[in-house]
Amino acid sequence: IARSSPDPGTPTKSCQSRGSSLHVHFKNTRETAQAFKGRRIRKVTTSLKDVTLQKCVQAKQWGWAQGRWPKKSAAFLLHVLKNAESKAELKGLHVDSLVMEHIRVNKAPKMRHRTYRAHGQINPHVSSPCHIEMILTEKEQSGPKPEEEVAQKKQISQKKPEKLKLMAWEFCVSLSLWSSPAHTLPLFLSPSFKNK
């Protein structure tokens, strides 16, 4: 039994697109698709175009000198993405604020072919196609935050410095390092400062 795709949270602000039994490798396409989940559509399209043109560095971030580009997977994902984008324009959604909310790549039935070899031998040649489905959702533009929220974030907890002072005082007293009068103690360790 195939799993059904999730329903979009707000159907009026989202659009779906899918491709069935696409002639592109399942594993490569699945890994490529997961890299773009939750990202904005403009960034996804530029990244996929860079992959098809072999512009982006593909193996440097893992410390390798060699690697491969998933060109065919990127081309198929770009095709499905363009379809979803045109559906969004038809619905009247703002394309620049679209986010890839959901993307799924499923295995399609394998396609069996034959390879004819020397001396009358026949070898199987099996391909692994896949189904691709995606849901794009229009997210609200995040504007500047109100000043009240910014001011609340900048408040520093008053309990932490007091707790540190108390711990330092207890440590010094427990070791009996300070045998001199309290006025020779550092200011933050003196008992009069502790009560402030």
pLDDT in tens, 150-174: 666 666 666 777 777 778 777 766 6
pLDDT tens figures, 52-84: 998 877 777 778 878 888 999 999 999 999 999
pTM of full prediction above 0.75: no
Q: Which of 76, 180, 173, 178 is nearest to 134 (CA)?
A: 76
Under a CB-based contact definition with an 8 Å cutoff, are residues 17 and 80 in contact? yes
- Could you tell me the domains of the chain? 13-138 (3.90.470.10), 157-194 (no CATH)
Give the Cβ contact number of residue 71 at 10 Å: 15
Average per-residue pLDDT in the chain? 83
Report pLDDT for 183: 47
pLDDT tens figures, 77-126: 999 999 999 999 999 999 999 999 999 999 999 999 999 999 999 999 99
Q: Which of 97, 129, 98 is nearest to 113 (CA)?
A: 129
Measured CA distances, 26 to 30, 68, 129, 136 (Å) = 6, 16, 6, 21
